[in-house]
A and B are shown apart, each in its own frame.
Chain A
Amino acid sequence: MKYICRNFYSMIFLMIFFGLLINIDHINVYAFSPDKPLSDPLQEDRALELHEGLRCLVCQGQSIADSNSELARDLRLLVRERIQAGDTNEEINQFMTDRYGDFILMNPPVKGATYILWFGPVGALLIGIIAIYFLFRRSRLKKILTSQEDANFLNDEEKRKLRQILEEKSE
């Protein structure tokens, strides 16, 4: 019982510890560069959602919501202004891509240049499945072949014929 308790507490401790590690950059952002939120909570929600979808160009792995850079802050402000001016989400994203290209979108759009990006992994998976299927089929064929050859009820001539048939099939 004592052992279980200790284990339980250390697990809680570890969870909190790693939870903090994961959230450290978020904590930084909100602690040191508070933005002035929009007064309308619905509009502010939209702004935050858009911020998540726009890449910070200075620190490229982060969205502008997570980034501390000056440009990210300017862009956050700009998004809020466009919302207040009555722009739709699409218009705001278009505004950004007109200036910075598709690169600024955290989810690049599905189009000619990004087909490989979106469908490459699925394609690789399909090729893998097909390859496994053929390898599996061939090894099964081999099994049948050897087990048939071991069979005593066929004479050598019959075994040769069987091999021939199976080989033709496998080719």
Chain B
Amino acid sequence: MNQHSDIEKTPIKSQRKSKALFFILVPCFFIILAGILGFQLITGDPRTIPSALIDKPVPKFNLPPPPSSQEGFSDNDLRNGEVVLVNVFASWCGPCLVEHPLLMDLAKSNNVKIYGLNYKDSLENSSSWLKRYGNPYKGIGSDMDGRVGIDWGVYGIPETFIVDGDGRIRFKHVGILTREDLSEVVLPLISELRR
């Protein structure tokens, strides 16, 4: 009788091992999964959509300037063998005004040419906006109906593109361009593309 109960009490070796493995592996799996999802949740900004146009040639367009400025803007301006910035802005766009002083500084530094795409703005409004706050742009295209903006994949202005000398889009920044963005990402990439 003693022996009998002894048998029952002895745990089955293989079962014990796999059970322990189960209790380690399953929580591990969920911790890793939660880690990946949490990382994506915290670091990734769901509003920033990767551009489909990176490394693609710029779309064809030819836009006249608003009345207050001299130069218009067409895709030919972007194939001069020079790395340039293309900034999408509008007078109705508050965040555009926030980054505007930075663009003015950049234009004064003569480091890089900036072209402006004036997205869905009225001619009068954009003219008076530029007069009031200054014009950092080498050339400006008035995209009244927003069609050129759509060709550029614009969905939330301000947006800033880096275009290389061959007229290829190499980088896109959505939202306000900060001084950190400029010194840590944009300017290093420009000098890299110039090489």
Contacts and interface: CB of A to CB of B under 8 A. Distances in A.
Interface of A: 57-58, 60, 70-71, 74-75, 78, 97-103, 138, 142, 145-146, 149, 156, 159-160, 163, 167, 170-171
B94 interface: no
Nearest to B54: A101
Interface residues of B, number: 26
B60 interface: no
B85 to A, nearest CB: 20
A97 B52 CA distance: 7
Q: Top 8 A-B pairs ranked by shortest CB distance?
A: A101-B52, A57-B155, A99-B153, A171-B14, A103-B49, A100-B153, A156-B3, A74-B146
A90 B18 CA distance: 52
B15 A149 contact: no
B7 A160 contact: yes
Nearest to A169: B14
Q: Is the interface of B mostly helix, strand, loop or mixed?
A: loop
Interface in B142-157: 145-147, 150-153, 155-156
16 contacts: A70-B120, A70-B146, A71-B146, A74-B145, A74-B150, A75-B150, A78-B150, A97-B52, A99-B52, A99-B152, A101-B49, A103-B49, A145-B12, A156-B3, A167-B14, A171-B14
Pick the most buried of A57, A70, A98, A100: most chain B CB atoms within 10 A of its CB.
A100
Interface string B153-193: 10110000000000000000000000000000000000000
A101 B8 CA distance: 64
A142 B153 contact: no
A160 B4 CA distance: 10
A149 B7 contact: yes
B50 interface: yes
B4 A156 contact: yes
Contacts of B8: 146, 149
B27 interface: no
B107 interface: no
Interface in B116-137: 120
